[in-house]
A and B are shown apart, each in its own frame.
Chain A
Amino acid sequence: MARIVGIDLGTTNSLVAYMADGRPRVIPGRNGRTMVPSVVAMTDNGLIVGDSAKEHLTRSPERTVYSVKRFMGKGLEDVQGELAYFPYHLTEQGGVIRIKLGEKSYSPPQISAMILKELKQRAEAYLGESITKAVITVPAYFNDSQRQATKDAGMIAGLDVLRIINEPTAASLAYGLQQKTQGTIAVYDLGGGTFDISILKLKNGIFEVLATNGDTHLGGDDFDRQIADLFVREIREQQGLDLNAYPDHMQAVRLEAERTKIRLSDELKATAILDLPEGKGRYSRDFTRDQVESLSMELVERSLEPCRLALKDAGLTPNDIDEVVLVGGSTRMPLVRQRVQALFGKEPHCELDPDEVVALGAAVQADILSGGTTDLLLLDVTPLSLGIETMGGVMSSLIRRNTTIPASAKEMFTTYVDGQTGVDIHILQGERELVRDNRSLARFRLKVPPLPAGVPRIEVTFLIDANGILNVSARDVRTGETQSLAVKPSFGLSDDEVERMIGESFKFAADDLKARQLIEARTEAEVILMATEKALKQGGHLVGEEDLSSIRSSMAAVEATKSGEDHKAIRAKMADLENATHHLAEVLMDTSLKEALENKKLSEIT
């Protein structure tokens, strides 16, 4: 079976890993770095992703997308409160956010797909084979829409997403495999944008999740924001300058806030420096760790409540936890470690790199799916209760939160009016009593044969699969016929839209590739023409007339195809030119060798 890679699609950084010789490994890029910044920039030369895109954050902030994970599976209304923080332009279409980049608008899954493609290409270059299958991780507390959006992103990137797994449970797989962790463990996962806590029981290779909780809107980004807000406030007070009017400087502020925070994880003091616009010079500020910690305290405390709730749902107390594992870059903050240690009463583990451990776990899960690892099995849970709307706008729960998945529930529907031909079903996710306080997942209309009231009996099955994604099917109990359902997601792309985006993505990919090959061929043609010109000046007099005319005509041919659109033709003529210059090159080589030898002799003499 074809290789399956494991991908950690993070808010700030993404990674890809694979399994080799029973060990998961992260795949580095050409620059040796394992992390790909989850940043996509639209430049004049097309879309770029990762490290090079990150450089565009301050250069063209309105065309550089970061933290797109925060928008996955969301509507514009969900993120209203933080729109001001993002320099790029957001709109909405059919309940799904669109991000405007230049002339075009992209859905968050499309942007995520660009990051996934970058990881896919990285893996392909490193492993020397085509990669089409992946396991992708998501925060454990992601709802159905967010999971579906992630799966869509994979499809758009040309990946068959065999499994969506939860980040903390992925981390536990890596720990279980490499550190032989056993017993009841708590995985505290504070990433760039999301927070998860999962309580698991590890026994004889079974990883059983007992409970999970979290906050999909709490992560490193929020800590940076606290510091950045302080910078902006102080600059306003000291200089009378409102940086909010300068999106490029706002990005510089955000990045400097992040750098300051990171430095203060290792050191007790750090200085933040920012260049100001309008000839206002520089802003420089000394920071102590204490100061940053007092800004962060509230956010760290916010992460502890989900921990208590998860313990309660698991029916455990902190004393029952044998091991605590830290995951996510934000757990490098000493304050986070202290608070987690205080809550659970034991020193947390961080033997595995908190930035890499999720990707490593995803690779382990990939290996389980491909049949390589057979002794490990992950039994995960659904993080949120699933239900349907009943009379009076109340949610009736069908599958409770923290139920082991796959999980299913059946519900029988009938009619109240004679001849009624349809029943509207509204699917919800959340823990609150009222429909309006929960997340709307989807709506659909159940078709019912026109019969006297109460006679039709339609059995609807709600099945949450191993990805935590809901599947709905219906069966007419009287006739035994199954019914296909057209479920309209409340905050997601329809199947048609995803299809179209996959098509576009392939078309763009083909166009992109052709364009890139053409540009490369042209550039190389120019280089070879210039080099030949130079060589002719140096050694033209050393070769015969026949060689010279052959070189000249080959150069003209390269020049002619260079202005065309066919990169293969350019390459062919370049090859001809290289043949024609073969003799000249040899002669030049000889001459330079002789000269070198002569120089050597000369130097030996003197």
Chain B
Amino acid sequence: MDHNTHSTAGPRELQMARSMCWHCQSEVAGEYFCDRCVKVQPVSKELDYFTCLGFPRRLTIDQHQLEAKFYELSRAFHPDFYQNKSAAEQTISLGNSAMLNTAYRTLRDPIERAEYLLDLEAGSVKEIRNSPPADLFEEILELQDTLNEYRATGRVSETESPLRAKLRSERNTLEQRQRDMEATLQQLFVQWDKLQDRGEATDQARAERDRILKQMREHLSNRTYVKNIVSDLASTIG
């Protein structure tokens, strides 16, 4: 089958508020509902998830606030509350709910949130690493050999024990590696938020911004790589 993976990247700039109510054609001043005819308004598909949920583009988000906002908007948009409304309003409710659910799912998880922000800020499609990060190269190659050997022994034979023990310790090492990467990412998230809060438009600030994004990208992709190896390992040795 012929298909390309669709990029989730929307336009970079913040979308302007909708100008006109689809129903009464009056100027829409309200956030989600027309002030005049009280009809629900479609959330623009170009709206980024941060804006959709009413949060600034920061990587530290209060989970409780996020959840509260999600619940509030769910009550506003969910199809359950549009059963007696017109077909057009039902369609809008369905689209808005689906968008809201995606936005919440993305922002709820710190890693997905960062990947999404990176996508918005630097326009990167999620990068999937095919080769190990440089500092892990030797280690991973060796691990692959051990894994192959382990698989070849048929897993049940007596000879597996030392191999299995070795794989176990490898797994622990890699899991620690993953945690380290996540800790580094956490620091980068804080740096990003501070930089944004300062709101400087200097060359220095721009360079700092690019540095943080670049490092974030690298660590995110390394982490994904290690995480995949760990889960592969986990499913092999059980």
A residues whose Cβ falls under 8 Å from a Cβ of B? 1, 162-163, 203-204, 206, 208, 365, 368-371, 374, 377-379, 388-391, 403-408, 410-416, 420, 423-426, 459, 463, 465-466
Q: Which chain A residue lies CB-closest to B99? A: A408
B126 to chain A, nearest CB (A): 14
A465: which B residues are within 8 A, CB to CB? Answer: 79, 94
A204: which B residues are within 8 A, CB to CB? Answer: 71
| B100-108, B116-124, B201-209 - the one binding chain A | B100-108
How large, as a class, is the contact surface on chain B?
20 to 34
Is chain A's interface secondary structure helix, strand, loop, or mixed overall? strand
A206: which B residues are within 8 A, CB to CB? Answer: 71, 74-75
A412: which B residues are within 8 A, CB to CB? Answer: 3-6
Q: Is the CB of A404 within 8 A of B2?
A: no
Q: Is the CB of B1 within 8 A of A426?
A: yes
Q: Is the CB of A378 within 8 A of B80?
A: yes
**Leading 8 A-B pairs by shortest Cβ distance:** A408-B98, A406-B98, A404-B101, A412-B6, A369-B83, A406-B97, A466-B79, A413-B3
B94: which A residues are within 8 A, CB to CB? Answer: 406, 463, 465-466
A203: which B residues are within 8 A, CB to CB? Answer: 71
B79: which A residues are within 8 A, CB to CB? Answer: 406, 465-466
Any chain A CB within 8 A of the CB of B84? Answer: yes
Given contacts A463-B94, A465-B79, contact A403 B2 (CB under 8 A): no
B3: which A residues are within 8 A, CB to CB? Answer: 388, 390, 411-414, 423
A456 to chain B, nearest CB (A): 10
Tell me, in angstroms, the Cα distance from A300 to B3 when the chains sit together: 44
Q: Is the CB of B102 within 8 A of A408?
A: yes
B39 to chain A, nearest CB (A): 17
Docked complex: B40-91 residues within 8 A CB-CB of A: 71, 74-75, 78-81, 83-84
A485 to chain B, nearest CB (A): 15
Q: What string of 1s and 0s marks CB contacts (under 8 Å) between B1-29 and chain A?
A: 11111100000000000000000000000
Tell me, in angstroms, the Cα distance from A370 to B80 when the chains sit together: 9
Given contacts A388-B3, A390-B1, A415-B2, contact A403 B83 (CB under 8 A): no
Residue of A389, A406, A423 touching B101 (CB-CB under 8 A) = A406
Docked complex: B126-155 residues within 8 A CB-CB of A: none
Tell me, in angstroms, the Cα distance from A414 to B97 when the chains sit together: 28
Q: Is the CB of B2 within 8 A of A413?
A: yes
Q: Is the CB of B101 within 8 A of A425?
A: no
Tell me, in angstroms, the Cα distance from A404 to B103 when the chains sit together: 11
A23 to chain B, nearest CB (A): 19
Tell me, in angstroms, the Cα distance from A162 to B99 when the chains sit together: 22
Q: Which chain A residue lies CB-closest to B7? A: A412
